[in-house]
Amino acid sequence: MRLLIAILVILFLALQYRLWVGEGSLAEVSNLSQQVEAQKAENQRLKDRNAVLDAEVQDLKTGYEAIEERARSELGMIKDDETFYQIVTPNKKD
């Protein structure tokens, strides 16, 4: 009877070890769940960024206003009948 109890205790401890420490343990499952949640958040952030970029691409493909705005702000271009004024403030030397 003692041998049977000893075998059962050893078997119980081996199963407990695997549950708490071994492969597929509760700690590993918790860690993987946190990684999945972090990846979901990152994926959502990237989806939002892609949606903004897609809207910008569609706007550039269909509307001339977006192209004109980019040409003015990024390239400093002006129309033929416009006059460009640049205001320069002098640097004060101490």
Rounded CA gap, 61 and 68, in Å?
A: 12
pLDDT above 70 covers a percentage of the chain that reads: 99
Task: Work out the average pLDDT over 72-82.
Answer: 80
Cα torsion at 41, 46, 49, 51 (round to 10°)? -100
Rounded CA gap, 19 and 81, in Å?
A: 78
> Which pLDDT tens digit goes with each residue over 54-73?
988 887 788 778 778 877 77
Instruction: Note if the pTM is more than 0.85.
Output: no
pLDDT of residue 94: 60
More confident residue, 38 or 90: 38
Helix-then-strand count for the chain, H and E: 3, 0
Phi, psi of 47 (to 5 degrees): -65, -40
pLDDT above 90 covers a percentage of the chain that reads: 32
Rounded CA gap, 57 and 15, in Å?
A: 57
